[in-house]
Amino acid sequence: MNKLILKIAILISLITAGCSENTDTVVVYTTVDQIFSEPILKDFESQTGIKIKAVYDTEETKSTGVLNRLIAEKDNPQCDVFWSGDPIRAIVLKNRGITSPYPSSMANDIDSIFKDPDDHWTGFSARARVLVYNKNMLKKTDVPQSIFDLIKEQYRGQVAIANPLFGTTTFHVAALFSVLGEETAKQLLADLKNNDVVIASSNGDVKKQVVQGKVACGLTDTDDVYEAIKEGGNIGFVFLDQHGIGSLIMPNTVSLINNSPHTNNGKKLIDYLLRKETEAKLAKSCAQMPLHKGVNTPEDIPSLDNIVPMIIDYDKTAQKLTDIQAYLKGWLEK
């Protein structure tokens, strides 16, 4: 009887081990706007038969909600894949031991500058930080060309930025600290505050305020700008500091979560996201710029070859993002 019980116990354990990875499920957490990321995930689901369970950030807590959730779940991971709108959060997770290396063959021709040297994250489909402006309020000759122009008296109370504690604005500010140095970056932020910069709730809110003429211009991302243009907004945009520090380029990144519940399916999703076809879809839906060569894109999508990029160290910028949180909270409260 004892031998029979032992055999049954072994059989049950083998069955449990074999079913530990549900073969028809993958869980993804993403900071990318649901309106753009969900269609890609649905396409993966329909093409592979693998069911997607997605967790999206809200617009107001962009990039911090799912990031904090992943950190909280470190010892009991519920997620397989983290799809981030920038590399910084992926680096934070790597440094905390939350991601695993996965060198996808789908990214072999993507420049190494957009990949983690240890394969904990891989970049694809980039956005850029730009200045969006209302054409009814600013002549083309009056549009700021540098981030330092925004502190001029003529733009007092007419510039909007999103809350710098969240989303790509945090990344942008951290990059400025890395490139300009702490003293110059703090002075820039102080001057912006003294020039009555408008703090919006999100990049989408920046776009809305510019379109509605509540402010003349604002800092946001290229996907928000193209969305406003599609909606008929009388706006334009410029890549700032093309004769100086350059414009911040922000690739999406994808990471495999360490000890994830559906690791094999997670790898399949990563491979899918890193395909040229996915970059082509994102170029069409939200004006993102492919990192692969030879991707078919709409004619109005700018090429990275024609933009002077801000040269940053992603790891250094990730550390800056953490270091300046207390300062940014204080800056907001002044």
Per-residue pLDDT of the chain (334 residues; tens, 9 = 90+): 445 444 444 444 434 444 444 579 999 999 998 989 999 999 999 999 999 999 998 654 555 689 999 999 999 999 999 999 989 889 999 999 999 999 999 999 999 989 999 999 999 999 999 999 999 999 999 999 999 999 999 999 999 999 999 888 999 999 999 999 999 999 999 999 999 999 999 999 999 999 999 999 999 999 899 989 989 999 999 999 999 999 999 999 999 999 999 999 999 999 999 999 999 999 999 889 999 998 989 988 888 888 999 999 888 898 898 899 999 999 999 8
- What pLDDT sits at residue 10? 40
Residues 6+ apart with CB under 8 A from 11: none
Q: Which CATH number fits domain 20-126+250-302: 3.40.50.720, 1.10.10.1100, 3.40.190.10, 3.90.1200.10?
A: 3.40.190.10
**Equal CATH topology for 20-126+250-302 and 127-248+322-333:** yes
Fold of 127-248+322-333: D-Maltodextrin-Binding Protein; domain 2 (3.40.190)
- What pLDDT sits at residue 322? 86
The domain segmentation of the chain, as residue ranges, is 20-126+250-302, 127-248+322-333
